[in-house]
Amino acid sequence: MTLSDYLPPDLRERVRVTGHDATRWSLYERDAYDAILLDAPCSSEAHLVRQPALLADWSPARSRQLAMRQYAMLAAALDAVRTGGFILYATCSISAEENDGVVARLLERRAGRVECCRPDWQTGEATEHGQALLPDRTGEGPMYAALLQRLS
């Protein structure tokens, strides 16, 4: 299991893996976690560069559909994390719609319940709500992350 490969045993014991549909997660667990890492399924442009055959599946419509799914996952994660808890929302997309767009939608629709935190990340570049590693600038990525805290 990948978690066993990367996490020391004391941390691995604190991680629980479920088979819940992440868009409906809060139906099963509410106010249950101190922190959530949401590594959302995305358009994965890095894979398109490495595997050109995947380019045939890419389209602007696909990115819009993914953004809707990502928003549903992020909204469910907000209900699953405890008040005061954190969500790290991450993608490997360069799409603003899938990145800051998803976070902006949550901040608008759940105003007063969540805020963006601006950690001092030493790599990448700041976006409106998060941080991005872009291949043309760093030679790595793409990678996007935004740190959110549940307020109520």
Short-list 47, 50, 127, CA closest to 92: 47
pLDDT tens digits for range 58-88: 778 888 999 999 999 999 999 999 999 999 9
- Give domain status of residue 22, yes or no: no
Q: Other CB atoms closer than 10 Å to residue 45's CB: what's the count?
A: 21
Where do the H-state alpha helices sit in the chain?
Answer: 2-6, 9-12, 45-50, 60-80, 100-109, 135-138
Q: Residue with structure tokens 């709500």?
A: 129
How far is residue 44's CA from residue 54's CA, in Å, rounded to a whole number? 10
Active site residues: 92
- Give domain status of residue 144, yes or no: yes
pLDDT score for 49: 66
- Give domain status of residue 126, yes or no: yes
- Give domain status of residue 3, yes or no: no
Chain-wide mean pLDDT for the chain? Answer: 89
- Give domain status of residue 17, yes or no: no
- Give domain status of residue 133, yes or no: yes
Write out the residue range of the structural domain in which residue 44 sits: 32-150
Instruction: State the total domains in the chain.
Output: 1
How far is residue 40's CA from residue 103's CA, in Å, rounded to a whole number? 12
pLDDT tens digits for range 101-151: 999 999 999 999 999 998 788 888 999 999 998 877 777 788 999 999 999
User: Can you say whether the dihedral through the CA atoms of 50, 54, 39, 96 is positive or negative?
Assistant: positive
- Give domain status of residue 25, yes or no: no
CATH number for the domain harbouring residue 119:
3.40.50.150
Q: Mean pLDDT, to the nearest integer, of 46-56?
A: 72
The conformation of residue 21, written as its DSSP 8-state character, comes to -
32-36, 45-49, 102-106, 119-123: least confidently modelled range = 45-49
Say if residue 1's pLDDT is above 70: no
Residues in the chain: 152
Q: Other CB atoms closer than 10 Å to residue 85's CB: what's the count?
A: 18
- Give domain status of residue 15, yes or no: no
pLDDT score for 122: 83
Amino acid in position 17: V
pLDDT score for 97: 96
